[in-house]
Amino acid sequence: MVTRRGVVETPVFMPVGTQGTVKGILPESLLELGAEIILGNTYHLFLRPGHELVNRLGGLHKFMNWNGPILTDSGGFQVFSLGDLCSISEEGVTFQSHLDGSRHFLSPEISVAVQRALGADIVMAFDECIPHPSARDYVAASTARSTRWAERCKQAHLTDQGAALFGIVQGGMELDLRTRSAEELLEIGFDGYAIGGLSVGEETGLMYRVMEHTLPLLPVDRPRYVMGVGTPENLVEAVARGVDMFDCVMPTRNARNGLLFTGFGKISIKQAQYREDPAPIDPACSCYVCRNYSRAYLRHLYQSNEILASVLNTHHNLHYYLSLMSGIRRALDEGTFGEYRSEFYRQRGAA
C-alpha cells in the first residue's frame, strides 16, 4: 500500500494511538518493533486538544513525533457509542462530550475537515457503526444514510490530492445490505475500502461469514481494511479471507490489565502462579521484555501498580502482534501461509 509518507507492507496491523499517543510506548519504540502505520481518532482529538491547535503546531505527525503514515478514524464509532448523548439527523450528529458535557456537531464535511487539519495520510469516511443486534429496518436506514454521507465525504475530500480516502461498508449482519453498501461505495469510488460494524458483540462465526460475503465484493487492487478486529486468531483468519489492514486496542488495553499474548496463548500475569516464576513471558519471544525480565518481576510490577508494568507489558504485546503480521507476510511471500496457519493453531493446542 502506497501512502504519501511511504510504502506500507500489507497485511498490516496498526497500533491504536487514539489521542495522539499509543498508550504506554514511545514512538521510537514503535519503530523498533516494526510498526509502519498507526491510527489516530477524530472524535478524541477534535475535543482535546482540538484539531486547530494540532494544525497550528505542525500537524499530528509533528505534534506526536511520528514520521510514518497515520490513518484517522472518522469519529463515528465514538460518537454513536455515546448512545442517548447523541442525536442523528441527515445533516450529521449532535452529541455531548464525554469530557465535560458540552455540545458539539459532526457532519461528513466536518469530519473530513478535522482529519485534514490533523494531517492524516488516510482519511476515513464518516459513517454510523451499527450496533448489534439491530432491527433490519434500522440497519437498512442507517446503511443508506452512511452511503449518502460517504458521497458527501468524497465531495469534501476532492481538493486534497495528498491523503487517501477510504469508504466503509456497512449493513450490519444483513448480507444483502452489505452487498448494496459495497456496490454503492464502488460507484462513488474510494482509494481503499473498510468493512465496519464488526466485532460489536456478534459471535465469531457470524463475523467471518460477513467477511467472506463482503470481501469478494471489494476490488483486490485497493486496500481492504476490517476495522476494530481483533484477536490473534481473528487476524490469521481474516488474512486467510483476504484482509489487508487491521487495528485494535486489544494488545495495548490488555497489556494495561496484565493480559499478555504468547505463541501458546494468553497468560494473566497477575495470577499467583507467577509470583516466583523466573521464566520470561514467552521463552520463544525475542522482544526486549522477554530477554530481560521474568514473569515474577512483571507480576510484582503489576501488583504494585507500577507504571513500568504497563510500559513493559505494552512493549511485549505490540511486539507479539507486529511479529505475527510480519510472519504472515513472510509466509504469504513464500507461498506457505497454509502451513503457517496450521502451525499457529498447533502451538495453541487447537486443531
Using DSSP, state whether 84 is helix, strand or coil. Answer: helix
Confidence of residue 350 (pLDDT cuts 50, 70, 90): low
Same domain as 168, residue 83 = yes
Phi, psi of 151 (to 5 degrees): -65, -40
- Long-range CB contacts for residues 330-338, cutoff 8 Å, separation at least 24: 332/11, 332/239, 337/239, 337/240
Cβ-proximal residues to 86 (8 Å cutoff; 6+ apart), any chain = 79, 80, 93, 94, 95, 96
Active site residue 176: no
| Percentage of residues in the chain having pLDDT higher than 90 | 94
Amino acid code (one letter) for 107: S
The tens digit of pLDDT for each residue in 114-130 reads: 999 999 999 999 999 99
CA R_g for the chain: 20
Catalytic residue among 121, 127, 244, 247, which? 247
Domain C-terminal end among 213, 248, 283: 248
CA distance 120 to 87: 27
Same domain as 80, residue 164 = yes
Same domain as 127, residue 223 = yes
CA distance 15 to 76: 19
Catalytic residue among 73, 121, 127, 282, which? 73
Cβ–Cβ under 8 Å, residues 170 and 196: yes
Same domain as 283, residue 151 = no
Q: What mean pLDDT comes out for the span 80-105?
A: 90
Total domains in the fold of the chain: 2
**Would you list the DSSP string of 275-342?**
TT--S-S-TT--SHHHHH--HHHHHHHHHTT-HHHHHHHHHHHHHHHHHHHHHHHHHHHHT-HHHHHH
The tens digit of pLDDT for each residue in 228-279 reads: 999 999 999 999 999 999 999 999 999 999 999 999 999 999 999 999 999 9
| pLDDT for the residue numbered 84 | 79
Phi, psi of 36 (to 5 degrees): -110, -25
Same domain as 304, residue 285 = yes
Same domain as 284, residue 184 = no
Same domain as 186, residue 273 = no
CATH number for the domain including 96?
3.20.20.105
CA distance 43 to 76: 8
**Would you list the DSSP string of 218-282?**
S-TTS-EEETT---HHHHHHHHHTT--EEE-SHHHHHHHTTEEEETTEEEETTSGGGTT--S-S-
| Percentage of residues in the chain having pLDDT higher than 70 | 99
Nearest Cα neighbor of 199 from 173, 164, 162 is: 173
Confidence of residue 161 (pLDDT cuts 50, 70, 90): confident
Same domain as 271, residue 227 = no
Same domain as 335, residue 244 = no
Active site residue 247: yes
Same domain as 147, residue 185 = yes
Confidence of residue 351 (pLDDT cuts 50, 70, 90): very low
Domain C-terminal end among 199, 226, 248: 248
Same domain as 234, residue 339 = no
Copy the grid coordinates of residue 134: 439491530
Domain C-terminal end among 248, 264, 291: 248
Same domain as 337, residue 313 = yes
Look up the domain containing 213 and give its range.
Answer: 2-248
Beta bridge partners, 122, equal 71, 164
